[in-house]
Structure 1
Amino acid sequence: MTVATPAGSAPAEPGARPELDALLAELADGERRWAATPLTGRVTLLGRVHAAVAAEAQAWVRTASRIKLLADDSPLTGEEWMSGPYALLTSLDALARSLRAVAAGRSPLDGARFGRAPGGRVTVPVLPLTAHDRLLLNGFTAEVWMPPGTDAETVRRRAGLGALDPQRTGGVGLVLGAGNITSIAPLDVLYELIAHNRVVLLKLNPVLGDLEPVYRRALAPLIEYGVLRIVSGGGDVGGYLAHHPGVAHVHITGSLATHDVVAFGPGEEGRARKAAGTPLLTKPMTSELGGVSPVIVVPGEWSEADLRYQAEHIATQRLHNSGHNCIATQLVLLGEDWPQRETFLRLLRTALERLPARPAWYPGSAQRLADAAASHPGAEWQGAEGSRLLVDLGDGRDAATLETTEYFAPVLGVLTLPGTGAEFLDRAVETANRDLVGTLGANILVDPATLRRLGPAFDDALAALRYGTIAVNAWTALGFLTATAPWGAYPGHTVDDAQSGIGVVHNALLIDGPERTVVRGPFRPFPRSVAGGEWALFPKPPWFVTARSAALTGRRLTRFAARPSWARMPGVFAAAFRA
């Protein structure tokens, strides 16, 4: 993920890279064109991008699968469909709807039924919003919680962000792209253009360099219009651009270490600047940086099927994309007094052992696995050829390393805490807030009967949990995939204490100043969900790493997003129910 200048060097002076200077000059012209483009013209442009992405979807997935060492016929290619072209297509549609609303003099939130959350917070529903949503993701919801003191009318009035004043542009934004999930960089480009009225220079991560031709074709309408340029290269390119006076703003997706090198410079000098609070980078910077994500397992009375299903759920949260996700669950918080704890741990071990073998493809993964094993001598190797690591932190073992190191590899820790019910939940929330690095996302698993017993105390616990996205009986990655949901760290971080980052992206309803997103899903898949009174018709999710039909479902979902039609719904359902 490195985008910094070489260690020990200072940013190059403008003029040292004339080919990059020329691109910035072209984008300066593009900014003037963007300022003169009405919202209706922007909607048309997004429609052209939508068509181009749909045309490139197959090539996109094949290239991404090759980068990640997946066979073309692997069910795991479903991950590349859903987190690649599908995510971008749904975002393009949602952003276009918001722009059309603002162009017509309405708010993107007109018609929304606002709710309330603890602390006097206003909540905004963001999933489901359409009839298609209600069927495709039946049983799942997402809502945005606003900060205390923000009233509903203010939320409605301010929704629209840059679209409320499209002629007021923000210069050139540099997007330093991610190297793991292939939709991240294009989604960040869209947010810069629409939410902030900034034209964009996208610097690709070298890990995804083979996707450059695909990105150029998929985003060709933006390139041809002069509002996007794409470059490749190493840290020297990123460092030169970040400090160039022709760049007004920097957005980075990556690690905290990479963020700090860009903001403060490399080596001892950079660390000294960070300690002194004097960044080398003096322009505004936003970021999405990952962290140590927990899953809180609230003790309850679960059936054998529940235990097995949720063990697979947690394994998915860790092993999706071979563990190379900023939102991958790294620490399981279990109840020490839960009678089913040992049974659940046994099934979790079984899931990790039996899940399909796959390569840890991201550079440095093998070393990070080795580092985790060295830090935790009692760790258990799982899976084919010891490709996964389970660290049981029972018996008083030191948890600090696992709590403060984002391994970005197939490493999963288990920490037990005393108590049951609300006592356990409050202790788990306190542990996550106090001890774990990062605030991007947290997951909670709780059965319906226990949830009813907890009553209002459960939402109070959600309010106390300081994370940008919280998923209840779901994985926070669904918040990432929901185009209308803001995605980013819990607000309040600064450049010299960035944690999981600053600002949000995605957010296709263009909500101003959100605090967090709360995603909720069914505790059980259909048909057990209905038998348990949840009335959710969703089968095993296609993003589960055990979903046998994930590739087919992902491909059909992407075709549906390319050309939504009721006639295509049965094909999606037929694939999903074969998971």
Structure 2
Amino acid sequence: MTSISPAPSELSDAETAALDLAIDELATGADAWSTLRLDQRASLLDQVRDAVGAVAEEWATTAAASKGLDARHPLRGEEWLSGPYAVLSALDGYLRTLRTLARGASPLDGVRIDAAPGGRIRAHVFPASAIDALLLSGHTGEVWFRPGVDAGSAARAAGLGQLDPGAPAGVGLVLGAGNITAIPVLDVLYELLAENRVGLLKVNPTQNALVPVFERALAPLIDAGFVRIVRGGGPVGAYLTRHPSFAHVHITGSATTFDAIVWGTGPDAVARRASGEPLLTTPITAELGGVSPIIVVPGPWTDADLRFQAEHIATMRLHNSGHNCIAGQVVLVSRDWPQRDAFLRELETAYAAAPARPVWYPHAAERLTAAGATYPGAQQAGGGRLLVEVAAGDDPHPIETTEYFAPVLGVVELGGQGGDFLRAAIAHANERLTGTLGANVLIDPATERDLGDDLDRAIADLRYGGIAINAWTGVVFATPILSWGAFPGSTLDDVGSGLGIVHNTLLLAGVERSVLRGPFRPFPRSLGRGRFSVLPTPPWFVTSRTSTAVSEGLTRYLIGRSPLRLIATLIRAMGA
């Protein structure tokens, strides 16, 4: 084996030997992976699907306990949806793609493709089935390609690494996220299928309790030699990222960690940046978060609209106690909106009324304290969460540029109405807010109709990799047929929200962004008033009274496809 750099002193010889053995085993597994036909790969993923189903309850229960949610906490449903449910959805998508490719077709066959602004095309990929339309009622999703990609080239390139399954397969390193439990598994699957690489997963220490669950969920891939899982903190990560046997590195985390991996730390890192010679020479992709805007387009909202969308915004910030790279952080609202005051009252109420929960992610409490010191006039709610309404004379820069990764929500006012406000808000988000991972736009049906095609043209100007219109970009993450990642344009030297994409179960090339559109109003107010939805309150809302039962029911439906279970779950959802 190629020689490696000296190990950090914190690792023993036995620890480095164990890591080297895992890498050697994967090198052998890479050879075996390249011999598998597409139908054999699909069969293997079917086994993974069964294994995920078998551990789903333990997965959700262990994740909830690790975040301080007891058996009666109303938000335990989050761990079903952002854990096994998301992984099962991804596996179903990849299985469809593999089987489509195996019969010589393109994953884009039968998918409606039309023009998007700016010389782009977009593929209307979601819902992909009647069940999709029911489980995520009222939502549709599009993948937008980069300017210049045409429908023919998109169809020919769809399949990525699976277009030539016999090509030599390398070994990839996945540095797992510490906040959402589906992320490490989803990233391993993307490495395996999109890039045709077997993978070593280093689990973030915050998810150590889930390692036995991950091992059983991925047992078919582990037993075949295609995946290895290791634990460890910074020293293990440093050893692995310096290892020459990896063809690629993928990290989900912070820009600070990314920079330390790529450039090192201290004076040496400054010198490397100046010379343009990074410490890491292995290709790397990354998902790194940012400050996500919630653009509230002024319009004729009813009192019920104000209340529902206030709860929607509270969810965008407070899901997982705000420890999400895609948590909404800055609400952009018009000071000229006649309903501005009523909206802010509803937002204050919804933010304060959301169920209390622990602030559990490392260093989040310190970031909360720092935000409170920066904005001493912020309103405090349960668990120390902060609502910062940036007033005249206050400096919006900290909340617009610091990803707090904690329950801190800011409100920033701009001028204008309708399309003028939307364009101003998009310019503000693009130019003032840190990152390009995800943006949210709330707009009532009447205003949307008035804007017509101008809405899509405005959305095309919004430089974010995931955009949700009347939805939350967290649902883009949990809908893995859509792509997930920063807007293109970042570099090693200025990484922003990251490089590359994941999820993307159709394995599309040349992707720029994904756009999810949802219903402005829930059932029954959705009847004849914009997009129809059967859901009174989406199960991911922090205000849903039936979140855990519905989230568990939807996951168990994916596992067993029982119509009776689905009916029972939908009945529960109607009581939300």
**TM-score, length-scaled by structure 2:** 0.97
SS in 2 for 1:17: helix
Following TM superposition, by how much is the alpha carbon of 1:83 offset from its aligned partner in structure 2, in angstroms? Answer: 0.5
Match of 2:457 in 1: 460
Mapped partners of 1:435, 1:238: distance in 2:
33
- Cα deviations by residue, 1:285-334 (Å, 9 ceiling, x for unpaired): 00000000000000011111100111000000000000000000000000
What is residue 539 of structure 1 aligned with on the other side?
Answer: 536
Give the secondary structure class of the aligned counterpart of 1:545. coil
Unmatched 5+ residue regions in structure 2?
none
- Give the SS at the match of 1:333: strand
Instruction: Show the counterpart of 1:39.
Output: 38
Question: Are the equivalent residues in 2 in contact too, given 1:11–1:239 (CA < 8 A)?
Answer: no
Task: Give the corresponding residue for 2:84.
Answer: 85
User: Cα–Cα, structure 1 residues 16 and 179, in superposed 2: closer, same or farther, change >3 Å?
Assistant: closer
* 1:539-563 superposed Cα distances (whole Å, 9 cap, x missing partner): 2110000111110011111111112
Alignment RMSD: 1.9
2:448 paired residue number: 451
Q: Is the 8 A contact 2:386 2:409 kept in 1?
A: yes
Tell me how far 1:9 sits from its aligned partner. Answer: 7.0
Given the alignment, which residue of 546, 559, 562 partners 2:559? 562
Q: Which residue of 1 aligns with 2:496?
A: 499
Residues in 2 aligned to 1:396 and 1:459: alpha-carbon distance in whole angstroms? 34
Q: Deviations over 1:146-167 (max 9, x none)?
A: 1121111111111000000011
* Alignment match of 2:417 (pick from 420, 429, 454): 420
CA apart distance, 1:396: 3.1
SS in 1 for 2:511: coil
2:277 maps to what in 1?
Answer: 278
Instruction: Name which of structure 1's ranges 506-515 and 271-280 shifts more when overlaid on structure 2.
Output: 271-280
State how far apart, in whole Å, the 2-side matches of 1:309 and 1:276 are.
52
Aligned match of 1:223: 222
Distance 1:64 1:372 in 2: 27
Of 16-25 and 520-529, the range deviating more from structure 2: 16-25
CA distance in 2, matches of 1:102, 1:405: 43
Report % sequence identity: 55
Q: Name the count of aligned residue pairs.
A: 572
Aligned to 1:140: 139
Partner of residue 324, structure 1 = 323
- Measured after TM superposition, the shift of residue 576 of structure 1 is 1.3
Q: CA deviation at 1:15?
A: 10
Q: Distance in 1 between matches of 2:396 and 2:9?
A: 37
Residue in 2 aligned with 1:438? 435
Secondary structure at 1:409's aligned position in 2?
coil
**Pairing 1:513–2:516 present:** no
Contact 1:169 1:196 in 2 (8 A): no
Structure 1 residues 416 and 9, CA gap change in structure 2 (3 angstroms): farther
CA distance in 2, matches of 1:388, 1:268: 37
Q: Match of 2:385?
A: 388
Q: 1:16 to 1:67 in 2, by over 3 A?
A: closer
Aligned to 1:297: 296
What is the CA–CA distance in structure 1 between the aligned matches of 2:394 and 2:62, rounded to whole Å? 42
Please list the CA deviations of residues 126-184 of structure 1 after superposition, one character each: whole Å capped at 9, or x if unmatched: 21010111222221000011112111111111100000001113411000000000000
Report if the CA contact (8 A) 2:8-2:238 is conserved: no
Q: Is the 8 A contact 1:15 1:21 kept in 2?
A: no
Deviations 1:323-363 (A, max 9, x none): 00000000000001011111111111111111111110111
Is contact 2:519–2:530 with CA below 8 Å preserved after alignment?
Answer: no
Question: Deviation at 1:22?
Answer: 0.9
Matches of 1:416 and 1:167, distance apart in 2: 55
Q: In structure 2, how many angstroms separate the alpha carbons of the residues matched to 1:11 and 1:153?
A: 53
Change (3 A) 1:547 1:375: same
Q: Which runs of 5+ in 1 are unaligned?
A: none
Give the letter for the 1:474 counterpart: A
2:368 corresponds to 1:369:
yes
* Matched position secondary structure for 2:330: strand
Aligned equivalents of 1:378 and 1:170: distance in 2? 56
Give the TM-score, by structure 1 length. 0.96
Aligned counterpart, 2:314: 315
Matched-pair contact (CA < 8 Å) for 2:145–2:511? yes
User: Which sits farther off after the overlay, 129-138 or 404-413?
Assistant: 129-138
CA distance in 1, matches of 2:419, 2:530: 23
- What is the match of residue 28 of structure 2? 29
Q: 1:548 aligns with which of 545, 549, 556?
A: 545
C-alpha distance in structure 1 between counterparts of 2:131 and 2:245, whole Å: 43
Indicate whether 1:527 and 2:527 are aligned: no
